[in-house]
């Protein structure tokens, strides 16, 4: 299985983004997005920090979508495709 490439890695061990180390690194930050009902949702996922929904400018949102929002199914499918825990 091909490992996903993170969008950013904040580890001091990272030599080049996407290297063998950061494929399994807790400090790697994976970004994703999905359009649901005409609205774009963006998120960051890190094994160390977990999930964070973000705005277009990269700031964290104040209120997460409710658990019934279809974006959660999109996020889970994204996470599964990338083999993230």
> CA-CA distance, 25 to 11, in Å (whole number)?
8
The pTM for the full model equals 0.77
The answer to whether 31 and 7 have CB atoms below 8 angstroms apart is yes
The 10s digit of each residue's pLDDT in 12-69 is 666 665 556 565 677 778 889 999 999 999 999 887 888 999 999 989 999 999 999 9
Question: Got the DSSP string for 29-79?
Answer: EEEEEEEETTEEEEEEEETTTEEEEE-TTSPBPSSPPPTTSTHHHHHHHHH
- Per residue in 70-84, is it b (16+ CB within 10 Å) or e — as a string? ebbebbeebbeeeeb
């Amino acid at each position: 299985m091909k490992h996903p490439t993170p969008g950013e890695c904040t580890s001091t061990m990272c030599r080049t983004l996407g290297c063998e180390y950061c494929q399994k690194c807790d400090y790697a930050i994976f970004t994703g997005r999905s359009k649901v009902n005409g609205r774009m949702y963006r998120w960051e996922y890190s094994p160390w920090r977990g999930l964070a929904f973000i705005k277009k400018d990269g700031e964290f949102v104040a209120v997460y979508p409710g658990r019934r929002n279809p974006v959660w199914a999109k996020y889970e499918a994204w996470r599964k495709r990338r083999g993230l825990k």
